[in-house]
Amino acid sequence: QSALTQPASVSGSPGQSITISCTGTISDVGGYNYVSWYQQRPGKAPKLMIYDVTNRPSGVSFRFSGSKSGNTASLTISGLQAEDEADYFCSSHTSSSSWVFGGGTKVTVL
Amino acid sequence: QVQLQESGPGLVKPSGTLSLTCTVSGGSVTRGSYYWSWIRQPPGKGLEWIGYIYYSGTTNYNRSLKTRVTISVDTSKNQFSLRLSSVTAADTAVYYCARNYNGFDFWGQGTLVTVSS
């Protein structure tokens, strides 16, 4: 199972919106609505931000939203804030009932 | 609030076996609909799913690790465990245990395991 493809880095100024893409295949992202997104700060465990493509867990800011088109899922952060600076990973269920992660995207707030 | 805590040796010799345990508190590993996973992250790199177990004992493993991995559950202790055999330096990573329900919704803090002689 190959890792999902994410851009290595994305940056934006405070208040702007940014979008992180996560590209897979019909055997994972495109075939199931089980895409999730994680925020990871240095030295910390990942934190679930979005599950099942579009759903936000309780306590996660409404500024985080998810979507999917074909084999590509996306995470949008609106009203970018300094505290959003972190690494972000996507994950998807696969046709072999396993899970696969993306390589990660470093978000920088300029 | 569910909490997970990894425990085990932080140093393993090459060709040896890595063994870690995840203790779950604030919830039961026997509750249906939850899968219990191990995930690792080599220093400075991305996340890799290792495998999961259901309380019934059903498991599924990452194909790339399948021949070396065993995940088991001890319902009496509310724990699940990871064994990874024939380790090399490439297995050096922070190892996380996590609950898989709606995504991986609860994680342990992670434990660094170094493979070195």
Q: What pLDDT does residue B34 have?
A: 94
Write out the two tokens for B103: 């995504």
Q: What pLDDT does residue A56 have?
A: 98
B37: chain A residues, CB-CB within 8 Å:
99
Question: Looking at residue A105, what DSSP letter applies?
Answer: E
**Does B46 contact A99 at a Cβ distance shorter than 8 Å?**
no
Tens of pLDDT along B5-35? 999 999 999 999 999 999 999 999 998 889 9
**Does A36 contact B63 at a Cβ distance shorter than 8 Å?**
no
**Does A51 contact B102 at a Cβ distance shorter than 8 Å?**
yes
**Which letter, b or e, does each residue of B7-23 get, where b requires 16 or more Cβ atoms within 10 Å of its Cβ?**
ebeeebeeebebbbbbb
Tens of pLDDT along B34-92? 999 999 999 999 999 999 999 899 999 999 999 999 999 999 999 999 999 999 999 99
Strand partners, B54: none
Shortest CA distance to A95 belongs to which of B63, B42, B55, B113? Answer: B63
A57: chain B residues, CB-CB within 8 Å:
102-103, 105
Q: Tokens 């024939």 identify what position?
A: B86
Q: Is B89 left (phi over 0), alpha (psi -120 to 50) or beta?
A: alpha
Strand partners, B107: B98
B48 lies within 8 A of chain A by CB: yes
Q: What pLDDT does residue B31 have?
A: 87
Residues in contact with A59: Cβ distance below 8 Å, sequence separation at least 6, in sequence order: none
A contact residues 52-91, partner B, Cβ 8 Å cutoff: 52, 55, 57, 89, 91
Which of A98, A100, A106 best tests the B interface by mutation, with the highest count of B CBs <10 A? A98
Question: Looking at residue A109, what DSSP letter applies?
Answer: E
- Dihedral angle of Cα B99, A40, A100, B14, to the nearest 10 degrees: -90
Q: Which residue of B has its CA nearest to A48?
A: B105
Write out the two tokens for A86: 């972190």
Count of A-B CB contacts under 8 Å: 63
Query: pLDDT per position in chain A (110 positions), as tens?
Result: 789 999 999 999 999 999 999 999 999 999 999 999 999 999 999 999 999 999 999 999 999 999 999 999 999 999 999 999 999 999 999 999 999 999 999 999 99
Q: What pLDDT does residue B21 have?
A: 98
Shortest CA distance to A80 belongs to which of A52, A108, A40? Answer: A108
